[in-house]
Amino acid sequence: MEGPPTHRTEECREYVDEQRLVERAKDDPGAFGELYDVHFDRIYAYIYRKTGDRQAAEDLTADTFMKALMNIRGYRYTGQPFAAWLYRIASNVVIDYYRVRRPTAPLEEGFPITTTGNTPEEAALALDDQQAIARAVRSLSPDQQDVVLMRFAGDMKLKDIAAALGKTEGAVKALLFRALGALRSKLSESGVRG
């Protein structure tokens, strides 16, 4: 007798379905369009948080998907989701972007402004906290920034981040642990409330 599907079974089914779609996309641009639709929001959000510039994020996201489309025939399933391959391309596109030009927009713009306060004072405090968080994230190493953004902004699993960055899962865990420790320390110094 077969039991109810587990989370792991659903996850495997999603990977298999996605891999079928990837294989179709190698010959059918329409199938690639489906992959674009599935992954656009996360890739755009990742790039936007890395650049803090909407126009640059739109352009770099387009570059990321164009590079993916041009190289889809060379993609080989390695046990990691297709998104990991896309994040690796996006990461390289952002690195190339910064090699050519210096960032002009502050990182704070890459974080959504949310105010939970009912009064202008509470809203101002929330904004101050967000700016302190952005400064703290900006002070991390590039690898730590990537891991934090992929984990919390991109809602990625550690194994997928590892695949996207070409690192082991243990290395990603260590980077995340050190990054969170550094953030905790910097935010405590800044007086950001938890």
* pLDDT > 70? residue 143: yes
Could you give the count of Cα atoms lying within 13 Å of 192 in the half-sphere of its Cβ? Answer: 19
Q: Tell me the pLDDT tens digit for each residue of 165-192.
A: 888 988 888 888 888 888 888 878 877 6
Q: Tell me the pLDDT tens digit for each residue of 20-33.
A: 989 998 988 888 99
Q: Per-residue DSSP letters for 30-59? A: HHHHHHHHHHHHHHHHHHHHHH--HHHHHH
What angle, 0 to 180 degrees and rounded to 10, lies between the N-to-C axes of helices 158-165 and 82-100?
A: 50
Instruction: Scan for tokens 């510039």, then name that residue.
Output: 53
Q: Tell me the pLDDT tens digit for each residue of 31-90.
A: 899 999 999 999 999 898 888 889 999 999 999 999 999 999 999 888 888 888 999 999
Residue 2 CB burial class (10 angstroms; 0-12, 13-18, ≥19): exposed
